[in-house]
A and B are shown apart, each in its own frame.
Chain A
């Protein structure tokens, strides 16, 4: 998919809303549509909106095989993560004050954990292995008698690597501890069956799965029951867990997006796997390229690559007609490279050289083809500009150089 001749390969950041989802959402906004407040019990407008919300809830529940009553609407995965982590920790603080998570979690998990540390909780941040996977053994040995919550992501947003949440969940359940999983990157990419995996709380986002931004959901298990302290009070919506008038059009959008994901996952996967293979094959023809993450254990829609001797941000600038994102934080306000790549033990220069390509439903064969052509060319040009590449060609081992660092 391209607009203004820019190729979009940043689906892991956000996806466009599927036109079928957008047209469904339009039915719940205008005077002609079902604009009512789902909480209005006294008239038809309210009943219709409520019906739509409950149908959407079923679509979300169907995709992950849970009871619709276990789905709580939130403003997105960030709020769902916050509600799960802070909500459970605060509710059960008399039981214990220790939380286990990992260093490669999204900031939406790490920052609530930091907040809980300020409130007196103790948090263990697990290291991934060198491929970006959190092992169940690491979780097991981190659990203590006062652990109340374990929060481990399903699919890492930078690498696409998949954690074995079933295995981790079994260990955590065995110890009578709550298990939260951030699944923002999972829906429509891998199958999730909450009847089979012992997860107590799971966060979802609509806009990573062709739904609108500003809506997400938290799965809260009923059996065994999980209780949490609400973050937002006022009106007691969502059984008191999340007050605030339900955004009918957003919710309908998420429901429709997840219904489509359920139907179209097999087709989406076939196409995206094909692009992944092609991309991998062509990129490997470039010298000194490193794939970050675990090729045998990842989703095909995300591909994180380090181009040695080329700095990531300059590569993104060079790829000006292609929308991708960088593991190099030179693009953001800080000058540190990606904390995820650092946690893998990648050398800083490789972390500085990484780019994340992510494909999606509207990616075309031409998009992939064009990107590969441009990519090879720009990497070559930037290397000709790079003193590190020159030193490498001269046979100098960069690790032995004494740098004049700042």
Chain B
């Protein structure tokens, strides 16, 4: 399959420079941390996304993000792309992120759209987890 240059670059940058691209983990028990994990090994992809937030006015703001992804190149690139969109956003803004934005940013081929859906679900789950702790 021919991936766009953007997927390849995102994948390679993330692989070669994991810390700068927010690969890692937060303590999931931390009350400021929300964790989302979606996908299944048998299906070929699992994404784990963690957000670290703090209250700001009436809302909460995402201060930092960590992620890990098992999956094809475009699954890894999709997570990494999403992570970049999240920092500094309020939870309301983060909830409004749609998979189409990832598809467009990475020029994902139709067969790989599910990677972006998985990424969208991972942030929704992470926010749910965080809100449940507040």
Known: A311-B72, A382-B15. A398 touches B43 (CB 8 A): no
A404 at the interface (CB under 8 A from B): yes
Q: Are A404 and B39 in contact (CB under 8 A)?
A: yes
25 intermolecular pairs with C-beta atoms under 8 Å apart: A311-B45, A311-B71, A314-B72, A314-B73, A328-B72, A330-B44, A330-B72, A333-B111, A335-B43, A348-B43, A348-B44, A349-B42, A352-B42, A381-B16, A381-B18, A385-B70, A387-B37, A390-B25, A390-B48, A403-B40, A403-B41, A404-B125, A406-B39, A406-B114, A406-B118
Q: Mark A364-406, 1 if CB is under 8 A from B, else 0.
A: 0000000000000010011011111110000000100001111
Tell me, in angstroms, the Cα distance from A386 to B43 when the chains sit together: 15
A313→B18 CA distance, assembly (Å): 19
> Is the beta-carbon distance between B44 and A337 smaller than 8 angstroms?
yes
Pick from B8, B40, B47: contact of A317, CB under 8 Å = B8
Within 8 A of B (CB), among A12-54: none
Residues of A within 8 A of B111 (CB): 333, 335
Q: Taking A387-B46, A405-B42 as contacts, is the C-beta distance between A313 and B15 under 8 angstroms?
A: no
Q: Are A406 and B15 in touch, CB under 8 angstroms?
A: no
Nearest CB in chain A: distance from B75 CB, A: 8
Q: What's the Cα separation between A314 and B70 when bound, in Å?
A: 9
**Interface magnitude class on chain B:** 35 or more
Q: State the total of A-B contacts with C-beta under 8 angstroms.
A: 104
Interchain CB contact under 8 A, A404 and B69: no
Given contacts A320-B12, A381-B18, A390-B25, contact A406 B117 (CB under 8 A): yes
- B23 interface hit (Cβ, 8 Å): yes
Per-position binary interface string of chain B over residues 1-43, scored 1 when its CB falls under 8 Å from any chain A CB and 0 otherwise: 1010000100110111010000101000000000001111111
In the bound complex, residues from chain A placing their C-beta under 8 Å from that of B75 are 311, 314
Q: Contacts A314-B76, A333-B111; is A403 near B70 (CB within 8 Å)?
A: no
Contact of B68 with A by CB under 8 A: yes
Once bound together, how far apart are the Cα atoms of A172 and B100, in whole Å?
57
Q: B15 and A385: CB pair below 8 A?
A: yes
> Would you call B45 and A404 a contact (CB within 8 A)?
no
Complex Cα–Cα for A360 and B99 (A): 44
Distance, CA A352 to CA B48, complexed state (A): 18
A317 CA / B77 CA spacing, docked (Å): 12
- A332 to B111 CA separation, bound complex (whole angstroms): 9
Chain A: residues with Cβ within 8 Å of the partner, total of: 34
B24 to chain A, nearest CB (A): 9
With A381-B15, A390-B25 given, is the CB distance from A313 to B72 under 8 Å?
A: yes
Given contacts A349-B42, A381-B18, A390-B48, 19 further A-B contacts (CB under 8 A): A311-B70, A311-B71, A314-B72, A331-B1, A332-B1, A348-B41, A381-B15, A384-B23, A385-B23, A385-B69, A385-B70, A385-B76, A388-B70, A403-B41, A403-B42, A404-B37, A404-B40, A405-B39, A406-B40
Most buried by A among B8, B14, B45: B45
Q: For the complex, give the distance between the alpha carbons of A196 and B18 in Å.
A: 58
- Please report B residues at the A interface, Cβ cutoff 8 Å: 1, 3, 8, 11-12, 14-16, 18, 23, 25, 37-48, 68-73, 75-76, 111, 114, 117-118, 121, 125
- Asked whether, in the complex, the Cβ of B70 is within 8 Å of the Cβ of A386, the reply is yes
A residues in contact (CB < 8 Å) with B: 309-311, 313-314, 317-318, 320, 328, 330-333, 335, 337, 347-349, 352, 378, 381-382, 384-390, 398, 403-406
Q: Determine how close the nearest CB of chain A comes to the CB of B47; give it in whole angstroms.
A: 7
List, in ascending order, chain B residues with CB within 8 A of A403's CB: 39-42, 46
A386 touches which one: B8, B42, B69 (CB < 8 A)?
A: B69
| Chain B residue at minimum C-beta to C-beta distance from A399 | B41
A398 touches B41 (CB 8 A): yes
Chain B residue with the shortest CB-CB distance to A388: B70
Q: From B23, B25, B40, B73, give the contact of A313 (CB < 8 A).
A: B73
Q: Which of B18, B44, B76, B125 contacts A352, CB < 8 Å?
A: B44
Asked if B37 contacts A328 (CB within 8 A), the reply is no
When A and B form their complex, which 7 residue pairs have the shortest distance between CB atoms, in order from nearest?
A: A403-B40, A405-B40, A349-B41, A348-B42, A387-B48, A317-B73, A313-B72
B132 CB, nearest partner CB in chain A, Å: 16
Report B-chain residues with C-beta under 8 Å of the C-beta of A314: 11, 71-73, 75-76
